[in-house]
Amino acid sequence: MVVKAKNIVFYMSNPLKLNYDESTVLQNTLREYPYFQTGHLLLAKALSNTDSILFAKQLKIAATYANDRIQLLNLINLYEKNNISIKKESETHSFSTWLSLSKSPQKIERNQKNILNEFIPNKKNSSTKFFKASEVANNSLKENEELITPTLAKIYFLQGHYDKAERAYQKLCLRYPKKNSLFAEKIKLIKKVKKE
């Protein structure tokens, strides 16, 4: 049996209503549609609600399918809010005390809102740079002096990039003073080829 679309929408809006029966239906659905992201998330929540031993395994699977793991964490840690009713005692006050009491709750409400706003985490979107092919291409054209080798200098020479080859051999002369005479001969050869 496969989960119907209206049931999925219902469980997305009421994830605390998921129980064992829905978890078996979700498992069957995921066998048929293994890349169904929302199904994996709902199954993890259903297993969490029923305290199943399969929860840890499904949580790992759901984490791989989740676009935002923070949302998955919020879904898993969602609990029913206990409705606590506070009994109000009947109070008898004079008109002036009644006015003073009516003004103070507004201040308390504002303070409570400020406290709540402090605890609400500000979700910071990671601002990763967007991939630009032109930037990557330009960066690949830049020479890294650490990567210059005799082989690279030879490739520059064979490809006809004589200026690059000459600069590479000059840098190699400084890096490898024992092979200075060999690189000096290569530089002379490059200058000779450039004149022709």
Predicted confidence at residue 94, as pLDDT, reads 73
Domains of the chain by residue range: 5-76, 144-195
CB 145 within 8 A of CB 168: no
pTM of the model: 0.42
Distances (CA, A) of 30 to 49, 67, 76, 168: 18, 18, 19, 59
Sign of CA dihedral 69, 73, 76, 78: negative
**How far is Cα 36 from Cα 15, in angstroms, rounded to an integer?**
17
Predicted confidence at residue 67, as pLDDT, reads 87
**How far is Cα 53 from Cα 25, in angstroms, rounded to an integer?**
17
Predicted confidence at residue 83, as pLDDT, reads 45
Weakly modelled stretches of the chain, pLDDT under 50: 82-84
Predicted confidence at residue 171, as pLDDT, reads 92
CB 44 within 8 A of CB 76: yes
Distances (CA, A) of 87 to 1, 84, 90, 91, 93: 48, 10, 9, 12, 18
